C-alpha cells in the first residue's frame, strides 16, 4: 500500500503535496484562465482541503475562487478594497 496516498492532505510534506496535488491545482488554474478568470496566485492556507485562486485588480480589490478539492465545487467571492 502506498502510504503517501493514504495520508490526509494536512499531513503531507511539501514534496508529497507537490507530487500529489500540485499538478491538479495547476490544471484548475489553467481551466480558469481559459474561462477568462486569470489567477494572480493560489492561496493554500485556507484549510487542508480547500484553495483560493486569487486575482488582484488594479484598484486593490480581489476575486477569490474558493475551491474544494474533494467535491470539486467552486464558489466565487469578490472582495472590494477598503
- The model's pLDDT over 36-78, given as tens digits with 9 standing for 90+, comes to 888 888 887 777 677 788 888 888 888 888 877 777 666 766 6
Answer whether residue 3 shows pLDDT above 60: no
Does residue 23 have a pLDDT over 50?
Answer: yes
Assigned domain for 2 exists: no
Task: For residue 42, give every residue at least 6 positions away whose Cβ sits within 8 Å of its Cβ, in sequence order, or none.
Answer: 25, 29, 51, 52, 53, 54
In a domain, 4, yes or no: no
Judge whether 25 lies within some domain. yes
Asked whether residue 3 is assigned to any structural domain, the reply reads: no
Tell me which residue range forms the domain holding 31: 13-79
For 25-34, how does the pLDDT look when each residue is reduced to its tens digit (9 = 90+)? 788 888 888 9
Q: What is the pLDDT of residue 1?
A: 42
Model's pTM, two decimal places? 0.58
Amino acid at each position: 500500500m502506498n502510504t503517501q496516498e493514504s495520508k490526509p492532505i494536512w499531513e503531507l510534506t511539501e514534496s508529497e503535496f507537490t507530487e500529489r496535488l500540485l499538478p491538479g491545482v495547476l490544471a484548475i488554474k489553467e481551466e480558469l484562465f481559459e474561462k477568462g478568470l486569470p489567477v494572480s496566485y493560489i492561496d493554500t492556507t485556507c484549510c487542508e482541503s480547500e484553495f483560493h485562486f486569487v486575482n488582484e485588480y488594479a484598484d486593490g480589490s480581489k476575486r477569490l475562487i474558493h475551491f474544494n478539492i474533494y467535491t470539486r465545487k467552486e464558489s466565487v467571492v469578490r472582495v472590494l478594497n477598503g
